[in-house]
Amino acid sequence: MFYLIKEQLQEVDITELKNANAQYVAVLTPQEWAEKKDFFDLGIDIDPQQDEIYTTKAVVNFDSLTGSFYIPDRNNVTENYYMFSFVLDEKGIIFIDNSGRAQKMIKRIYKAKKWRMPSLERFIYDFLEQIIYRDLQLFEKYELELNEIEDKILEDAESVDLSRITDIRNDIRELRAHYEQLTDFGQELEENENEFFQEENLRYFRLFLNRMDRLRDTAHSLHDFTMQVRDLQHTQLDIKQNHIMALLTVITTIFMPLTLIVGWYGMNFKYMPELEWKASYPIVIGICVLIVVASLIFFKKKKWL
> What is the Cα 88 distance to its own chain's centre?
32
Q: What is the pTM of this model?
A: 0.76
Lowest mean pLDDT among 62-71, 124-133, 141-150, 244-253: 244-253
Cα–Cα distance for residue pair 16/138, rounded to 1 Å? 40
Q: C-alpha angle 85/88/92, rounded to 5°?
A: 125
Cα–Cα distance for residue pair 194/91, rounded to 1 Å? 13
Which domains does the chain show, CATH number per domain?
Answer: 2-237 (no CATH), 238-301 (1.20.58.340)
Q: C-alpha angle 85/87/93, rounded to 5°?
A: 110
Residue 46 has pLDDT above 60, yes or no: no
Span 20-33, pLDDT tens digits: 788 889 999 888 88
Higher pLDDT, 271 or 64: 64
Cα–Cα distance for residue pair 219/191, rounded to 1 Å? 26
- Cα 187 to Cα 99, 184, 191, 205, distances in angstroms: 26, 5, 6, 8
The predicted pLDDT at position 212 comes to 93
Identify the DSSP state of 11. E
Identify the DSSP state of 43. B
Span 134-168, pLDDT tens digits: 999 999 999 998 898 888 878 876 777 788 888 99
Of 59, 99, 107, the residue nearest 81 (C-alpha): 99
- Residue 274: other Cβ atoms inside 10 A: 11
The predicted pLDDT at position 138 comes to 93
Q: Please report how many Cα atoms fall inside a 13 Å half-sphere around the Cα of residue 183, on the Cβ side.
A: 14
Burial class (CB in 10 A: 0-12, 13-18, 19+), 52: exposed
Span 240-253, pLDDT tens digits: 777 777 777 777 87
Higher pLDDT, 206 or 237: 206
Cα–Cα distance for residue pair 74/131, rounded to 1 Å? 10
Higher pLDDT, 210 or 304: 210
Determine contact, residues 59/76, Cβ cutoff 8 Å: no
> What is the Cα 209 distance to its own chain's centre?
19
Q: Which helix (H) or strand (E) holds 96?
A: strand 92-96
